[in-house]
Amino acid sequence: MNKKYLYLFFTFLVIIAFYFKQSLIENTLYIFNQTKQTISTYISNINTNITNHFNQIEKIEKLSKENKKLQTQIQQLLPIKENCEKLKIFKQLNIPHIFFTQTISYAKLPDMSTIYIDYNKKITSPKGLIYNNQAAGIVIKNIKNFSLAYLNNNPNTSYTVFIGKNKIPGVIFGGKQMIIKYIPKYSQIKIGDKVITSGLDKIFYEGINVGIITKIIKKNLYQEAIIQPFYNPLHPSFFYVVGN
């Protein structure tokens, strides 16, 4: 009995398959084509994403190289920028026979009182070094195309000065503490008197600001005076050199 029903069931399936054969084939082909198209689109999207990914990597590498190049250029421009900032506060002096110059480097670290400057004119005697109408030191000799200079905080620096309104003479000596020596004993000097260059030694011209007296020391034959200098020697940058 069961075999009879089973035979009838398979016969029914064969009749249906034969009757709907074309429709089944079309549907199968349609599903196949749709699946094929979906897979093709998916593969195409994957390829596009891969291409875009590698393009982005190349772009990132290119931008990274350009960034490094720009960083290098910025580092090269920073000293120029710093010099321009310093030059903003550097006062130009319209005085004959002075020459603009700038610091090349310290002559010998850790000594910060001796510098090289790009002054290349012949030097037969010390010449004054000026910053913003302040006495900054002296230039002592040529070395090839540049010169050696002592700042005010160098113990080898010295030049003649006038003290106060009465222009009392003296000789100033550099170092960690600047001191004026050989002041006439009975000259009336006082704390707070302004000190300027005298020009008598022909290192500076007369009238360049040097400093203010902060202490007076009495000696047997002369007076001495400690001063607070106007020029700050810790930031040497641009100067004028007093010519002949």
Asked whether residue 110 falls in the same domain as residue 75, the answer is no
Mean pLDDT for 90-105 is 82
Asked whether residue 149 falls in the same domain as residue 80, the answer is no
pLDDT tier, 234 (very low <50, low <70, confident <90, very high otherwise): confident
* DSSP H or E segment with residue 153: none
Asked whether residue 69 falls in the same domain as residue 110, the answer is no
Domain end marker among 30, 61, 88 = 88
pLDDT tier, 94 (very low <50, low <70, confident <90, very high otherwise): confident
Domain end marker among 88, 112, 127 = 88
Mean pLDDT for 146-151 is 95
Q: What is the DSSP letter of 178?
A: -
Asked whether residue 223 falls in the same domain as residue 117, the answer is yes
Mean pLDDT for 101-130 is 92
Asked whether residue 131 falls in the same domain as residue 229, the answer is yes
Domain end marker among 65, 88, 111 = 88
Asked whether residue 26 falls in the same domain as residue 135, the answer is no
pLDDT recorded at residue 64: 75
Mean pLDDT for 135-140 is 96
pLDDT recorded at residue 230: 95
The type of residue at 133 is: N
pTM passes above 0.95: no
Q: CA-CA distance, 60 to 156, in Å (whole number)?
A: 58
* Residue-number span of the structural domain to which 51 is assigned: 1-88
Asked whether residue 57 falls in the same domain as residue 101, the answer is no
pLDDT for 17 beyond 70? no
Asked whether residue 198 falls in the same domain as residue 131, the answer is yes
How many degrees, rounded to 5, is the angle at CA 106 between CA 105 and CA 107? 110
Q: What is the DSSP letter of 33?
A: H
pLDDT for 147 beyond 90? yes
Asked whether residue 84 falls in the same domain as residue 104, the answer is no
Asked whether residue 84 falls in the same domain as residue 102, the answer is no
Asked whether residue 39 falls in the same domain as residue 74, the answer is yes
pLDDT recorded at residue 96: 80
Strands (E), 144-221: 146-151, 158-163, 168-173, 179-184, 194-197, 209-218
Query: How many domains does the chain fold into?
Result: 2
Asked whether residue 201 falls in the same domain as residue 229, the answer is yes
